[in-house]
Amino acid sequence: HENLKSFPNDFLWGAASAAYQVEGAWNVDGKEKSIWDTFVRVPGKTFKGTNGDVAVDHYHRYKEDVQLMAEMGMKTYRFSVAWTRIFPHGKGEVNQEGIDFYNHLIDELRKHYIEPILTIYHWDLPQALQDAYGGWESKQIVEDFQNYSISLFKAFGDRVKYWVSLNEQNIFTRLGYQTAMHPPGEKDDKLYYQVNHHASLANAAAIKAFRKYVPDGKIGPSFAYSPAYAKTSKPEDVLAADNAEEFTSHWWMDVYAWGEYPQVAWNYLTRNGIAPRIEKEDLELLKAGKPDFMGINYYQTTTYEKNPLNGVTLDGHFNTTGEKGTMEDTGLPGVYKTVTNDNLERTNWDWNIDPQGLRIGIRRVTNRYQLPILISENGLGEYDKVEDDDSIQDDYRIEYIRTHLKAIQEAITDGAEMIGYCVWSFTDLLSWLNGYQKRYGLVYVNQHEEGEHDLRRIRKKSFYWYKDVIASNGENL
Ligand code: BG6
């Protein structure tokens, strides 16, 4: 591969996590409930009723975890802040104990020369705001999110230079307001688009404030991008894939990058009476809060074909096939329909494995937005087995990460500007709906839905492999 360009010298090799999925300590040091603390207690919502009360106890073991990161030579660690630690009720007085925890974590990282990437919001909305005004359903969230963000900028902006505003707005709104698989468990298309508008405004308001408080920092959203493929070269399938790209990607990324909604989708939603209500000053705000980079969480591509208008109501279209938690949906009548791609292998959770799709996605984002890209998540969720000698031979994970890194190197050779790459995840963690059986970590954590769980950390084979990749700056792929 002598024709491939090298990874840049300052490429941020890293891994990621989210507060609810790793921290545990759900009700200590002043923390109050988030909507996830409530949701997981509703019977039947998560695999075997798992919750994040303890998770992998990162709150108490962060030093041990950072030590492992340092040993691996990690250049960056992406983590999220639990809003309910900073403002237990979403607003009001800052809870100093919450600030202290993240100060300790950030200082520990920096002591080991690991660049912190701080995610402001990874889905754990304060329950108090949900109760007070429906959370994202009300425009009031914009001000509260901006104030929360400013508190973080003031507390950590001197040491944290990379920030992610919202994690996967497209996923938390779809699962929260279309499939009802995440809190608050609604199925309402009109509300879904309104919620998205508020979230986009909140995103822009935070970024706008960021310029004042952390002028030398960089900030962007993390978008769950699943590039659209056409099932065949029939023009109607190609059009369906174009439609899908518009409705499932541009709807967010155009707003982030340009402060504008894409036309085709906007007109369709207006015709169907479900476009969001927008005020004039909203558009000004959207344009005033543009990101420095596009964060991309990439797991798979999605394939589409023509969807005949067959009288299906607009209600309930994004039907998740559910059981294994796949991201597939059936589509939008008359617009596109999701189909299986027979050219791709799939994981045990039926997620497509498609490294080339990452190169394709990076190209599309680069061409359309001309922004640097941070791969803020990419990884493989699988069953792992601890061998008798306490090793974990996760060659399947190594292969997944290796091929995706190769795709990034090809994208760099194509001309894309890449900031870094965060494996999802550093340690094993709680999968929102799938408990602990679906593992993503480079470090195994002995945590289970049932039975023995002493939470001890074990380096997987992928840990040693990734260490070597980092040490060689990607030469040894
Ligand atoms: C992303 C999220 O959507 O996918 C993570 O940002 C999540 O928080 C990851 O864990 C994997 O999803 P799952 O359902 O396999 O845990």
pLDDT tens track for 46-57: 999 999 999 999
Q: Which residue has the tokens 């791709």?
A: 344
Residue 23 CA, distance from chain mean position: 17
* 326 closest CA partner among 354, 297, 352, 349: 349
Q: Cα separation of 422 and 74, whole Å?
A: 10
Q: How many CB atoms lie within 10 A of CB 273?
A: 9
**Cα of 394 from ligand 1 centre, angstroms:** 19
pLDDT of residue 80: 98
**Cα of 113 from ligand 1 centre, angstroms:** 27
* 114 closest CA partner among 122, 106, 104: 106
Instruction: List helix spans (H) across 291-434.
Output: 355-369, 395-414
Q: Which of 350, 426, 432 to mutate to test the pocket of ligand 1 (most atoms within 8 A of CB)?
A: 432
**pLDDT of 321 higher than 70:** no
Q: Tell me what ipTM this predicted complex has.
A: 0.98
Using a 10 angstrom Cβ sphere, with 0-12 exposed, 13-18 middle and 19 or more buried, the burial of residue 472 is exposed
CB 17 within 8 A of CB 58: yes
Nearest CA residue ID for atom 14, ligand 1: 431
Question: Catalytic amino acids?
Answer: 377
Q: Which residue has the tokens 């790459």?
A: 421
Q: pLDDT tier at 451 (50, 70, 90 boundaries)?
A: confident
**pLDDT of 328 higher than 50:** no
Q: Which residue has the higher pLDDT, 293 or 310?
A: 293
pLDDT tens track for 250-308: 999 999 999 999 999 999 999 888 999 999 999 999 999 999 999 999 999 999 999 87
The residue-averaged pLDDT of 9-13 equals: 98
- What is the pTM assigned to this prediction? 0.95
**pLDDT of 186 higher than 50:** yes
